[in-house]
Chain A
Amino acid sequence: MAPLSIIANEARRRWRHLLLWGVLFALLHQVAMFAALLLRFRAWPNYVTFYDWPGNVLHIVRSTPSVRDMVGIIREEWLIEIGRMNYDYGTGISEWSLNIMPSRLLVLCLLGALVGLAFSLLHRTACASGARNGLRATTGLGAFLVALTNVTMSWVVCCATPSWVVGLAMLGLGTTTSLALERSGPLLSVLGFGLLTALILYLAWRKSRPAQQSKGVPAHA
């Protein structure tokens, strides 16, 4: 069977499982970011704002002639903002916040599903323990790159805009370095997805090979 057919079969057969992987991955990502903020700043949030995301998207669609522009603007729309406000000066400034953005949830859902698919194929592919660990590490690296570049925390110290480099800055990376890395975010994200896709194709190819070449030989003899 061709690798693509194997992937399609696997996805069709286990779509509920993959969907669960996706949803769980997206939710866990938000929980992890929230926990990171609480640990880093040792303070509870003191405000939460819910945004009319569907209404805002509709408004953007109506008032943006170009589809390309529309997508770019909608991508940055928030659903929920939860954070801590500093009221020492003027009307208050948000010190840090977690911004839940549906566009990123979708990307993380896809990422979770891909990771689930990779693990599913890995589980059903015969290979040595060393190779299995290497493949797991590759899955982890791909997932890490995508998850890292989809961080949506904001911190006043980092321009007060949610950006993936906020996570790096919170870990102590310098401002200049963080800003320089910000531009490579999309590239790293594509690299992460690329790694996962390549791994899934490789696993599917491996899975197709023993069936053609070594019929009757036990996988774990």
Chain B
Amino acid sequence: MKTFLKTTLTSTALASFAFAAWAEEITIAIGHQSMCTDTYTAGIVVKELGLLEKHLPTDGAYADAEWDITWSDYSSGGPITNQMLANKLNIGVMGDYPLIVNGAKFQETDSLRSIYVAGTGYNLKGSGNAIVVPVDSDIYSIDQLRGKSVSTPVGSAAWGMLLKAMQDNDMPAGEYVLKNQSPAVGAANIAAGKIDAHSDFCPWSEIMEFRGTGRKIYDGSEAGVPYLHGVVVREDFAEEYPEVVEAFLKAVIEAGEWIREDPMRAVTEMETWTGVEKEVLYLYFSKGGHLTLDPTIKTEWVDALKFDHGVLVREKAIPPLDFDAWITEDYIKAAYADMGLDYEADKAATVDPKEANAGLPAEIWHARDGVSTYETMPEFLAAVAAMQGTGAKLNATYVYDSETGLKLFGKTAFWVKAGEDYATFLRKGEAEAHAANHSGEVITFDAAIADFTTEG
């Protein structure tokens, strides 16, 4: 009798629960940034390929759930946090500094919390942020910014990098004029030569370089602090629908796999979705590109976020952040396990561009024939010269900075010719030093190509 009663009660409870679940429409509202490359694997790619829908749970309590998925595009992380606080967004994807502000602002409230559940991508040394000057500027190093006007989106990762770069170069705030400018305004001002320098996050610096309006004088990798992006979720949403968060993270993992599978296809698609030129995106998403797509939460990332929080506390007096309560690996570990992937192996692996990109071939992106690779610089330059000789349209060329391993546009690199050898550099100073040490000279890309141009 007792067993019968127990069974009846349990069945009734389960049936009520199932009925409630059947009637439920679950809203998933995601805030992403289509103008921030490092967020694409948790944003535009997941959205456009319908990867979240693919991984959403369909059994148990979710058997008859109706999904209402909305995506909102923002130009920075700040508004995403505000919308998450108002519960108009459940999930947000943003860069390191806005992530910290997100966690701190939630923890400042009495009743609301957000949790950091996964990364989207990183650059170990901090590439992605950069300081750019107008292409015709006579400024070639950060030291020359003394007394000049520098703009940046204040509160962004690029702002944090700028502050650290200035501190590292013994330039206190009083020795330069800091202006607050959004990426679009900064890029327009660089093009018009209205500002001495602009510090911005990915992919703005490369957009300016590709369009021929700006030139990098400082890359975020010089600051040496990892640059990373990640996913934050409202804790109440994660507690109510843990399977949905897990599904979202599976979609993030699959988005990364889709990009790695065929970077050319990925950047071509992404250009149509975001308006960012595919040649710029290739700099990030190709083999040897700036971005390592890895959703794991590494100890180094937590340390980097703690460092960033310290910078924010000094500059803007943001609230404290309990990192232990904020960061959780549970969801991403579960997603890895469900997909049969080894989380610990991915977590243990870090990509240092200097080592990983050593010996990678230079590339030419032919408008009709696609990307071809060249093991040596003379082969590369000869191929460029030959293609130009036929009047072929070249979308872009790619080489690597000899100093940092960073992937560069061939046309924006500083070239050094020493005998029959050629080397490429991001910064003029290092190119000049290399030239002096190897009895060479700093030349332009066009001059290097001219060495291989045959008459007739």
Contacts and interface: CB of A to CB of B under 8 A. Distances in A.
Given A72-B109, A77-B86, A156 B236 contact: no
B109 A91 contact: no
B86 A159 contact: no
Given A156-B182, A175-B180, A89 B110 contact: no
Contacts of A95: 182, 184-185
B178 A176 contact: yes
B178 A175 contact: yes
Contacts of A161: 78-79, 82
A130 interface: no
Contact of A156 (B85, B86, B185): B185
Given A175-B180, A176-B178, A157 B34 contact: no
Interface string A170-181: 000011100100
B180 A159 contact: yes
A89 B35 contact: yes
Contacts of B88: 56, 59
Contacts of A69: 109-112
Nearest to A59: B87
A91 B73 contact: yes
A95 B178 CA distance: 19
Contact size range, B: 35 or more
Interface in A162-204: 169, 174-176, 179, 183
Contacts of B34: 90-91
Contact of A68 (B78, B110, B180, B182): B110
B289 to A, nearest CB: 20
A157 B185 contact: yes
A183 B178 CA distance: 19
A5 interface: no
A160 interface: yes
Contacts of A176: 173, 178
A140 to B, nearest CB: 30
A76 B84 CA distance: 13
A73 B275 contact: no
Contact of A93 (B75, B87, B173, B276): B75
B2 interface: no
Interface of A: 56, 59-60, 63-66, 68-69, 72-73, 76-77, 86, 88-91, 93, 95, 156-161, 169, 174-176, 179, 183
B92 to A, nearest CB: 15
B183 interface: yes
B181 interface: yes
B311 interface: no
Given A65-B111, A91-B35, A73 B182 contact: no
Contact of B317 (A60, A88, A91, A183): A183
A68 B111 CA distance: 9
Contacts of A156: 181-182, 184-185
20 contacts: A59-B87, A60-B86, A63-B87, A64-B112, A65-B111, A66-B110, A66-B111, A68-B109, A72-B109, A73-B86, A86-B184, A88-B187, A89-B184, A90-B34, A90-B75, A91-B35, A95-B184, A159-B78, A174-B177, A175-B180
